[in-house]
Amino acid sequence: MSVLPLLEVDDLHVTFNTASGPVHAVDGVSFTMAPGASLGVVGESGSGKSVTARALLRLFAITDDVRVSGSVHFDGADLLRVDERRLRHVRGGQIGMIFQDPLTSLNPLMAVGEQIAESLRLHRGMGRAEAASEAVELLARVGIADPEKRATELPSSFSGGMRQRVMISLAIACRPRLLIADEPTTALDVTVQAEILLLLDELRRSEGMALMLITHDFGVVAATCEDVQVMYAGKLVEKASMTHLFDRANHPYTEGLLRLVPRFEDAHTGRLHPIPGQPPITGGGGSSCAFAPRCAHAFDRCHREIPPEVAVGPEHLSACWLAADRAKEGTEAGRPWRRTP
Amino acid sequence: MEMQTTTETTPPSQRPRRGGLRRWLRDLQGWVARLFGGESLRGLLLRRLRDGVIVLLLVVTVIFFLAHVVGNPALVFAPVDATDEHIAELHRQFGLDRPVAERYWEYLVGLAQLDFGESTWQQRPAIDAVKEALPSTIYLTVVGLGAAAVLGVVPGIVAGARARKPFDKTSNLLSVAALSVPNFWLGLLLILVLGVQLGWLPTSGRFETASIVMPALTLGIVHGGRIYQLVRSATFEEMSKPYVTVARSKGLTEWNILRRHVVRNTGVTTATIVGWEYVRMWGGAVFAIEYVFAWPGIGLLTIDAAHKHDFFVLQAAVIIAGAFVIFSNLLIDMGYQFIDRRIAAS
């Protein structure tokens, strides 16, 4: 690639020290994002996708006993090593973040306009009045009707979808270069989901910012992202462009996930195909493929050695011992996703 | 069209229902609600006032029956070697030979006129002795509460915001020590160190401005420990809420998150905690502390009156202190409601 990457994550490890021992939530994750790119991160609950996002901005709870290693280069600086001051400048100013639950993500006792203005005053050095009027414009930008009046209201007078819009306007207030959306639609109705995804996509294109979308739903990624990476037990198991992945998913886990999505054509005959077993509670640290116990194709090597990432196509990586073979033969999962003429 | 809409949207409360008693109760409830303007602040105030009066009446009644029916006040005043005639004479003097109901009624009428009887020890109306002592106690409790608030609220917020850090651990240990130590013992310790050994502060009575320092400090430490615990956990809980993470993701400093978001949002809780602690103070510590420091307030008066068998002063002190607590409680409750509703309304 000729473009300098905006974000370069290299060998990121996140370990929580809990009462019942260390938990390797993220176990050696590496990826890059170009300016203006859109990347979907898909995985089950506990696969480490949210922790990865939080680690980028070092957003952990004060009580978390957490160890982070590796590097997160953003705009030339390693965010894991910069001082607090510089980090705060990046937070909200360079990287905006949207969270899963819009009902609890806003301060219940502060007018929404004020919560947006807070960011503007901090990062864009605006005065009180200027920030207030810019906040109103931002609310209008994300499709909130009567923004002047709404800006003075408390979050409690907004519906879930509207609150997520407020949250988005807050995250994009300072024109960040990267927007991280952590399950932004999980808590919302399906119709509202579509609206929010449309808004995110539209904002990404018009503002020229990169979007990292974390979700467990392939449908959400398909609607908004060009690239996708699948996480399992704290590791990246497959990386590809969206269309490529849907066409020729390589990793058995990805295959399983894609098969899980119920398809309309199968409505009367189809059955769901759950992946047997449970994901491991503490990811990583082992000396085998974490997915092996649940994998239908696993053989003895899978239980002995960790599979490396193998290139199976143009910008398509898969961490599986069978990756090369499967790439040659093709897998089942891709096919149903191809549009039949 | 309009007619139809109206009939369709008749509120359920206006639909006829079966059940005689239940309907009657609902009507009564509606009537009371209209009288007090529903759940308005005024309605709530009236309800709380009514409750306050009922509680006070209960206190007064219990005191009366303990003294006049279960015990025999005449025996308290009679000398040890009193003859039966002597005791009968005292009975007549106190009016104890008349029916209980009549005496109870007279007692209530007397109380309504703030007539608590004559002090046998001070040779003046019991109410005068209480009136003299009350301001001292109010002064002590208010200063003591101020000390408790300073000692409890500020460290509580800091510890809650920096949970499991050294400051939190240290202050937590200190606060547990503060609230588990007997208050009178703490008072005596302060007297020994600050009063006797260092000679910095007067040890007893209320003769100079500095006299307030030690008793108020003792109250402050004991009650500050509890305030600290509650404020710490309220702050910690608030800091764990997702909106704080969002505020952090906006790039706010920890100090600004605390100042602009957390402290503001826990403000009502903190005010309530401090208010309750004031009521608790009246319920206990202030009596022991006044005794230890010979502070001329209600507590000391009550204990002295008990020693001197002065039933009327004892009764007046308990009833007035009780009324004061009920009244403060009401004020705190209304203040809390007022703030809460303003927040809900805005």
Q: What is the pLDDT of residues B206-235, one digit of tens each?
A: 888 889 999 999 999 999 999 999 999 999
Residues of B in contact with A50 (CB under 8 A): none
- Does ipTM top 0.95? no
Question: Which of the four pLDDT bands, split at 50, 70 and 90, describes residue A244?
Answer: confident
Q: State pTM to two decimals.
A: 0.80
Q: What proportion of chain B, given as a percentage, has pLDDT over 90? A: 42
Q: What proportion of chain A, given as a percentage, has pLDDT over 70? A: 91
In this structure, which CATH number among 1.10.1750.10, 3.40.640.10, 1.10.3720.10, 3.40.1010.20 belongs to the domain B129-345?
1.10.3720.10
Question: Which of the four pLDDT bands, split at 50, 70 and 90, describes residue B10?
Answer: very low
Tokens of A226: 């060009």
The CA-atom distances, in angstroms, between A100 and each of A38, A103, A154, A203 are 18, 9, 19, 18
Average confidence (pLDDT) over A293-300? 89
Is a pLDDT exceeding 50 seen at residue A334? no
Is a pLDDT exceeding 60 seen at residue A337? no
In a domain, A275, yes or no: no
Same domain for A23 and A59, yes or no, is yes
Same domain for A190 and A296, yes or no, is no
Average confidence (pLDDT) over B233-260? 94
Question: Which of the four pLDDT bands, split at 50, 70 and 90, describes residue A100?
Answer: confident
Average confidence (pLDDT) over B245-257? 94
Distance of alpha carbon B299 from alpha carbon B317, whole angstroms:
8
Same domain for A293 and A198, yes or no, is no
In a domain, A311, yes or no: yes
Same domain for A11 and A87, yes or no, is yes
- What is the distance in angstroms between the Cα of B5 and the nearest Cα belonging to chain A? 27
Tokens of A299: 């053989």
Is a pLDDT exceeding 50 seen at residue A86? yes
The CA-atom distances, in angstroms, between B336 and each of A107, B51, B124 are 20, 17, 40
Question: Are the beta carbons of A12 and A234 closer than 8 angstroms?
Answer: no
Query: Among A283-287, B4-8, B65-69, where is mean pLDDT lowest?
Result: B4-8
pLDDT of residue A192: 85
Beta strands A66-74 and A7-18: pairing type?
antiparallel
Same domain for A173 and A318, yes or no, is no
Residues of A in contact with B240 (CB under 8 A): 61, 63
Same domain for A142 and A207, yes or no, is yes
Distance of alpha carbon A318 from alpha carbon A309, whole angstroms:
5
Contact state of B245 with A167 under an 8 Å Cβ cutoff: no
| Amino acid present at B299 | G
Contact state of B240 with A101 under an 8 Å Cβ cutoff: no
pLDDT of residue A282: 60
pLDDT digits over A248-271, tens only?
Answer: 888 999 988 888 776 666 555 666
CA B272 to chain centre: 12
CA of B345: which chain A residue's CA is closest? Answer: A154
CA A18 to chain centre: 25
CA of A88: which chain B residue's CA is closest? Answer: B251
β-strand partners of A231: A236
Instruction: Break chain B into its structural domains and give their ranges.
Output: 42-112, 129-345
Please give the residue range of the domain that contains residue A195.
7-225
Distance of alpha carbon B214 from alpha carbon B191, whole angstroms:
8
Same domain for A211 and A257, yes or no, is no
Query: Among A307-316, B182-191, B299-308, B328-337, where is mean pLDDT lowest?
Result: B328-337
Q: What proportion of chain A, given as a percentage, has pLDDT over 90? A: 54
The CA-atom distances, in angstroms, between B301 and each of A159, B19, B93 are 60, 57, 25
Contact state of B249 with A97 under an 8 Å Cβ cutoff: yes
**Across the interface, which of A61, A108, A122 has its CB nearest the CB of B251?**
A122
Interface test with B, best of A60, A62, A98 (most B CBs within 10 A): A62
pLDDT digits over B18-73, tens only?
Answer: 557 777 777 776 666 655 544 677 777 888 889 889 999 999 999 888 877 666 66
Nearest one of A105, A108, A127, A107 to A117, comparing CA atoms: A127
In a domain, A122, yes or no: yes
Q: List, in order, residues 6 or more apart from B230 with CB less than 8 Å away.
A: B156, B273
Contact state of A89 with B161 under an 8 Å Cβ cutoff: no
Question: Are the beta carbons of A49 and A27 closer than 8 angstroms?
Answer: no
Q: What proportion of chain B, given as a percentage, has pLDDT over 70? A: 87
In a domain, A121, yes or no: yes
Tokens of A148: 């002047």
Query: Does residue B65 or residue B260 have the better pLDDT?
Result: B260
Same domain for A41 and A160, yes or no, is yes
Same domain for A329 and A241, yes or no, is yes
Contact state of B240 with A110 under an 8 Å Cβ cutoff: no
Same domain for A115 and A195, yes or no, is yes
Distance of alpha carbon B64 from alpha carbon B76, whole angstroms:
15
Same domain for A245 and A307, yes or no, is yes
Is a pLDDT exceeding 60 seen at residue B191? yes
- What is the distance in angstroms between the Cα of A324 and the nearest Cα belonging to chain B? 41
In a domain, A36, yes or no: yes
- What is the distance in angstroms between the Cα of B170 and the nearest Cα belonging to chain A? 16
CATH number of the domain enclosing A61:
3.40.50.300
**Across the interface, which of A59, A99, A109 has its CB nearest the CB of B264?**
A109
- What is the distance in angstroms between the Cα of B345 and the nearest Cα belonging to chain A? 10
Contact state of B243 with A105 under an 8 Å Cβ cutoff: yes
Is a pLDDT exceeding 60 seen at residue B296? yes
- Using a CB–CB cut-off of 8 Å, the residues of B that contact A are 161-164, 239-243, 245-253, 260-261, 264-265, 343, 346
pLDDT of residue A57: 94
Average confidence (pLDDT) over A278-297? 78
Query: Among A159-173, B27-41, B164-178, B328-342, where is mean pLDDT lowest?
Result: B27-41
DSSP state string for B174-240: HHHHHHHS-HHHHHHHHIIIIIIIS--S--SSSSSGGGGHHHHHHHHHHHHHHHHHHHHHHHHHHHT
In a domain, A230, yes or no: no
Residues of A in contact with B164 (CB under 8 A): 62-63
Distance of alpha carbon B324 from alpha carbon B259, whole angstroms:
35
Is a pLDDT exceeding 50 seen at residue A341? no
Total domains in chain A come to 2
Distance of alpha carbon A215 from alpha carbon A225, whole angstroms:
11
Same domain for A249 and A309, yes or no, is yes
Phi, psi of A7 (to 5 degrees): -130, 130
